[in-house]
Structure 1
Amino acid sequence: MTKDVTDTVMPRQARPASVTAQLSVLDRSLPLWIFLAMALGLGLGRLFPELATVIDAIQVGGVSLPIAVGLLWMMYPVLAKVKFEKLPAAASNGRLLVTSLVLNWVIGPALMFALAWLLLPDHPAYRTGVIIVGLARCIAMVLIWNMLACGNNEYAAVLVALNSVFQIVMFTVLGYVYLSLVPGWLGGEATVLDISMWQIAKNVLIFLGIPLVAGFLSRLILGHAKGTEWYDTQFIPRLGPTAIIGLLFTIVVMFSLKGDVILSLPLDVLRIAAPLLLYFGIMFFVAFGISYLLGFPYAETATLSFTAASNNFELAIAVAVGVFGIASGEALAAVVGPLVEVPVLIGLVYVSLWLGRVFYGRKGTGPAVPDAAA
């Protein structure tokens, strides 16, 4: 008999009778709150056009400070939940690591390249921006999607770290392959992606390194001072919900920054959104199917699926703006990336939970079972 997926979250005898009854209003209606955050961001950008200029001007070392605050706020609670003592065991799972690398660095970029050329043959600038989104692999929001889908937090932390290291090395290499080499073979115009490894490493160190170290120190210091039981049963349940607030804050900031563009160029945004929408969906289902066929448990399958389908939008935007300029079509396409990714991935959280019930016999009723269980 297939093991109930919620058994990997908490023992059956300790599981609450009603999971949804324990969820906060924010957790139960997360898709609604996300769409309201999008609408609020668009409204603020429309009502106060100067707001985007003010927010965009608040930068430190070329990194948008408001977006950085939102992302760090969002990632810290998730990484603070990680049981770091389990990371060596997670990192020793060679099959899972290799599967993730193939999905992220072979299948993902190739799929995005194919979709961009298929659906944007007459818009080389938009096509280039979409391809850049495909080259920037998961690092931030994937931890939220993984948590909501009852994925394995420890494996997610390992895979994000692994892909971040590969990102430093492979981003410029794949940028040359998919923006210069292959387009030349297809008779298109070659694009030179002039970006240093340090620029990529800086992005990784900020958006993964800071919350990772903060989460590790929190568990080390507070767990030692108050005890791991207090940390897991008292501190984390109070800290965890703030990750969703950080996510909503980030969404409001992103949509307020580009609300004018979205509303003034709706057809262009739809053209850009088409390959992105297909990409996120296809990558998720391909990863889920491969993971299931390889015999991974639900938690690991969910983690592989969301790390494969997610992207590092901050890096993609930074590269597009830095190389092509803030007003370029490449920058617009990179900005549309997270605007499509957020609603699609939250939808895929529910798809993942449904697939878990169908293929793994999961009987959980809500997307935030781990939080409720805690």
Structure 2
Amino acid sequence: MTRTPSPSAPASVSVAARLSALDRFLAVWILLAMAVGLGLGRVVPGLDGALAALEVGGISLPIALGLLVMMYPVLAKVRYDRLDTVTGDRALLVSSVVVNWVVGPAVMFALAWIFLPDLPEYRTGLIIVGLARCIAMVIIWNDLACGDREAAAVLVALNSVFQVLAFGLLGWFYLDLLPGWLGLDSSGLDVPAWGIALNVVIFLGVPLLAGYLTRRIGERRMGRERYESAFLPRIGPWALYGLLFTIVLLFALQGGAITDRPWDVARIALPLLVYFALMWFGSFVFGRVIGMSYDRTATLAFTAAGNNFELAIAVAVATFGVTSGQALAGVVGPLIEVPVLVALVYVSLAWRRRFPGARTGATAPR
């Protein structure tokens, strides 16, 4: 993503006016991508089947390509020699683990039962979404909000480790054990650890390695200043292109289901809206209260609110079937998450000037 630094811009200039043209109209591009995807899914016969057939080990190759293109430019921007300043921040690391792996799944479990007590398939799908912590698109939201890139890289890596170790266990706890304790209906979830590990390797490991090698080799050949001023702006827009491509594919896959069952989509959307609001605002306020800087507070908030919908959809399809209510709930996840978190990027930037030492005149150069 690109930034147009303007340190002398007056404080009265809106946040949107200080963003680059690509970033300023991001919500428009995303809504258009959603509309194109839904339209393609409706008017092109067999498109969803053709896309679903391009899978290896449950991983959709076209979606994987879109995510890799989306994440690579941002991870190439990370200054990996500064990661020790993040790993030494215990408040950030502990807060992230607690918010992501204790608070997040519990909040989604409660909301799923409150809003969907009569719809067990959708309820189960939402709980699966809550268990899949974000390791992909959060990189984009964090970068747009001028969060701490190095902190985001560390936190998504931490989420990846916990995802491999804890996803299956938490699935058993929230879908089987806890409902039994509370006298509620239960539905088991058998998720192999290797499947989750493969998801993490594809959606985080590959672009992380590519970004790391690009920076190391690029700085060695060009120097840091030229690498950041000449090379990064050239690859930056590809993050948006990858994001839009991924959104088109996701909505093309489930375009028919979404447009045929609008009331069901609305029922699923309501708890998701509440979830994103609670997780983002709660984490943002918490970071501000304990004295975190703006950039790390934003990173904490976006990693807390985002979810790994790729994993959630893959698990729902593999366990319950591609036409199941659980799979539909997984697909509705990004339908709500994407526009909501884009809006929260603007909220985050608007609140930035409330932090000590933050610039009020412009978005910092990225």
| TM class, shorter-length | over 0.9
Deviation string 1:100-159 (CA, Å, 9 cap, x unpaired) is: 001001110000000000000000110000000000001000000000001000000000
Q: How does 1:127-146 map to 2 (within 5 A)?
A: 127-146=123-142
> Residue 127 and residue 154 in structure 1: after superposition, are their counterparts in 2 closer, same or farther (change >3 A)?
same
Alignment check: 8 A CA contact 2:17 2:24 kept: no
Matched residue, 1:6: none
Alignment check: 8 A CA contact 2:283 2:304 kept: yes
| 1:285 and 2:278 correspond | no
| 1:316 and 2:344 correspond | no
Matched residue, 2:239: 243
Matched residue, 1:111: 107
- Secondary structure class of the residue paired with 2:146: coil
Which of 66, 76, 80 aligns to 1:80? It is 76
Matched residue, 1:34: 30
- Secondary structure class of the residue paired with 1:193: coil
Tell me how large the CA RMSD over aligned residues is: 2.0
| 1:327 and 2:309 correspond | no
Tell me how far apart the structure 2 counterparts of residues 196 and 178 of structure 1 sit (CA, whole Å): 17
Deviation at 1:25, TM superposition (A): 2.8
Which of 151, 157, 170 aligns to 1:174? It is 170
Tell me how far apart the structure 1 counterparts of residues 324 and 24 of structure 2 sit (CA, whole Å): 39
Tell me how far apart the structure 1 counterparts of residues 354 and 215 of structure 2 sit (CA, whole Å): 35
| 1:15 and 2:7 correspond | yes
Q: Partner letter of residue 32 of structure 2?
A: L
TM-score (normalised: structure 2):
0.94
Deviation string 1:61-98 (CA, Å, 9 cap, x unpaired) is: 22101110111100000000000001122111111100
TM-score (normalised: structure 1):
0.92
Deviation at 1:359, TM superposition (A): 4.7
Q: Partner letter of residue 59 of structure 2?
A: V
Deviation at 1:21, TM superposition (A): 7.0
Matched residue, 2:148: 152
Moved more, 181-190 or 15-24: 15-24
Matched residue, 2:193: 197
Deviation at 1:222, TM superposition (A): 1.5
Number of equivalenced pairs = 360
- Secondary structure class of the residue paired with 1:49: coil
Tell me how far apart the structure 1 counterparts of residues 39 and 356 of structure 2 sit (CA, whole Å): 42
| 1:25 and 2:24 correspond | no
Tell me how far apart the structure 2 counterparts of residues 138 and 186 of structure 1 sit (CA, whole Å): 28
Deviation at 1:186, TM superposition (A): 2.3
Unaligned 5+ segments in structure 2 are none
| 1:266 and 2:258 correspond | no
Alignment check: 8 A CA contact 2:283 2:301 kept: yes
Matched residue, 1:355: 351
Matched residue, 1:3: none
Tell me how far apart the structure 2 counterparts of residues 50 and 365 of structure 1 sit (CA, whole Å): 51
Alignment check: 8 A CA contact 2:272 2:336 kept: yes
Alignment check: 8 A CA contact 1:20 1:365 kept: no
Deviation at 1:363, TM superposition (A): 4.6
Unaligned 5+ segments in structure 1 are 1-8
Tell me how far apart the structure 1 counterparts of residues 28 and 98 of structure 2 sit (CA, whole Å): 34
Deviation at 1:197, TM superposition (A): 1.2
Deviation string 1:234-277 (CA, Å, 9 cap, x unpaired) is: 00111111101111111111111111111100000111111111
Q: Partner letter of residue 264 of structure 1?
A: D
Deviation string 1:191-239 (CA, Å, 9 cap, x unpaired) is: 2211111111110011000000000000111211121111111001111
> Residue 246 and residue 183 in structure 1: after superposition, are their counterparts in 2 closer, same or farther (change >3 A)?
same
Tell me how far apart the structure 2 counterparts of residues 234 and 17 of structure 1 sit (CA, whole Å): 24
Identical residues among aligned pairs (%): 59
Tell me how far apart the structure 2 counterparts of residues 77 and 112 of structure 1 sit (CA, whole Å): 31
Matched residue, 2:250: 254
